[in-house]
Amino acid sequence: MKSFSAKNEQLAALLSDLAHPACEHGIPTDWLCIDHDAQAVELTFPFAIEKSSLLNAINDDAELRTWTWTIKFQVQRLANSKPDQPMKTGNVIVVSSGKGGVGKSSVSASLGIALSRMGARVGLLDADIYGPSIPTMLGQPDHKLEVKNDKFQPIQYEDLVANSIGYLVDDNDATIWRGPMASRALQQLFNDTDWGLLDYLIVDMPPGTGDIQLTMAQQLPVTGAVVVTTPQNVALKDAEKGVGMFERLEIPLIGVLENMSYFECGHCGTQSHLFGQGGGLKLAHRHAVAELGQWPLTPEFGAQLDALQKQHQLELTEIQRHTAQRVVAELYYLKSHSAKN
């Protein structure tokens, strides 16, 4: 029997050494189920996992590949900022930015698509009253919301379901909105959309940290927040305010994502840091949160929007998939760690 637990420990340690974002914080032995006779391991994660990339990493390891692996996940519902609210929408992840135009909607959409392609049940809620771009991004800008059994029917991109505040109001009305109006519309969208059962709901927030954003963030049962910034000083200053807003609201911050970090020349591969360097990383360090990635400024990223609009199969880049994996893994570890303290 000694060998049973010893093997568990040994496998967990080997897995933790793998270069895979889901394993960075270690693998508890109770996620492993080992059949010694069959030399088989079943590994169940409590968050969405990109199975193929983990299996590739396992296959590259001389010891781990001697076992037959089954990798699964069963997303754990984590505590949120409104303990009294039902959890049917799964873990709510808000994506926010201090400043407009930094790529928050692109990040929200790619997180949603990546997680849904991992096999998780994912919803995307576009709450950006100033410029709801998810309908356009998902190729359905003129869609008219349908109501069935008193519920809005979400639009669909592959297995991802989405709804947008843009479908409820005229674009021009948003400029005169005040906090309570915006949060009422958000509540309606959140509560009255037929989301089905979800593991994760990604919320694309309006940029900024004013009254409207604060009221909206307070209204939702948030599990964790992601702050998107570019490396420019002005964006970083505003991102810092965003981080401060979540700290004041006691909403756990999953991390900071730096977008448009550098431009990589398609010919020679030289990286140019057009807007400064390392600001997002410093911001993350200052607030002791994860640095979720540094996304390059590339024509491909810009072109993704066109592909989505034309309903073409969107090729997510490695860095986008990696970030999605880190977001849900960090969220899990952040929450399970804070629950123990």
Ligand X SMILES: Nc1ncnc2c1ncn2[C@@H]1O[C@H](COP(=O)(O)OP(=O)(O)OP(=O)(O)O)[C@@H](O)[C@H]1O
Residue 193 has what DSSP assignment? Answer: B
Tell me if 100 is assigned to a ligand binding site.
yes
**Which part of the chain contacts ligand X (CB under 6 A), choosing from 62-70, 125-133, 142-150, 246-254?**
125-133
Tell me if 99 is assigned to a ligand binding site.
yes
Q: Which is nearer to ligand X, 46 or 207 (CB)?
A: 207
Stretch 263-302: interaction string toward ligand X, x if CB under 6 A: --------------------------------x-xx--xx
Q: Which of 305, 307, 316, 319 binds ligand X (CB under 6 A)?
A: 305
Q: Which of 18, 235, 256, 260 binds ligand X (CB under 6 A)?
A: 260
The angle, 0 to 180 degrees and rounded to 10, between the axes of the packed helices 318-340 and 104-117 is: 80
- Please give the structure tokens belonging to residue 217: 């963030």
| Cβ at position 101, least distance to ligand X in Å | 5
Q: Which of 90, 103, 154, 279 binds ligand X (CB under 6 A)?
A: 103
**Residue 131 in contact with ligand X, rule: CB under 6 A:** yes
- Please give the structure tokens belonging to residue 243: 């981080």
DSSP codes, 261-295? --EE-TTT--EE-TT-SSHHHHHHHHTT-EEEEE-
**Which part of the chain contacts ligand X (CB under 6 A), choosing from 99-107, 163-171, 321-329, 333-341?**
99-107
Contact 278, 232 (CB under 8 A): no
- Please give the structure tokens belonging to residue 248: 């004041």
Q: Which is nearer to ligand X, 33 or 305 (CB)?
A: 305
Contact 44, 53 (CB under 8 A): no
Tell me if 208 is assigned to a ligand binding site.
no
| Cβ at position 297, least distance to ligand X in Å | 4
The one-letter amino acid at 3: S
Q: Pick from 28, 41, 100, 11: which is nearest to 337 by CA?
A: 28
**Residue 105 in contact with ligand X, rule: CB under 6 A:** yes
Q: Which of 53, 97, 320, 323 binds ligand X (CB under 6 A)?
A: 97
Count of CA atoms in the C-beta half-sphere (13 A) of 195: 25
| Cβ at position 95, least distance to ligand X in Å | 9
**Which part of the chain contacts ligand X (CB under 6 A), choosing from 49-57, 66-74, 97-105, 320-328?**
97-105
Q: Which of 46, 98, 135, 207 binds ligand X (CB under 6 A)?
A: 207
Using CA atoms, how far apart are residues 73 and 114, in angstroms rounded to an integer? 15
Contact 186, 165 (CB under 8 A): yes
| Cβ at position 50, least distance to ligand X in Å | 21
- The alpha helices in 26-178, defined as continuous H runs, are 51-59, 104-117, 134-137
Instruction: Find tokens 């000083």 and name the residue.
Output: 233
Q: Pick from 150, 147, 152: which is nearest to 189 by CA?
A: 152
Using CA atoms, how far apart are residues 212 and 216, in angstroms rounded to an integer? 6
Q: Which is nearer to ligand X, 58 or 284 (CB)?
A: 284
Q: Which of 26, 28, 101, 244 binds ligand X (CB under 6 A)?
A: 101
Q: Which of 96, 110, 259, 320 binds ligand X (CB under 6 A)?
A: 259
Q: Summarize as ranges the residues that interact with ligand X (CB under 6 A).
A: 97, 100-106, 128, 131, 133, 207, 259-260, 295, 297-298, 301-302, 305
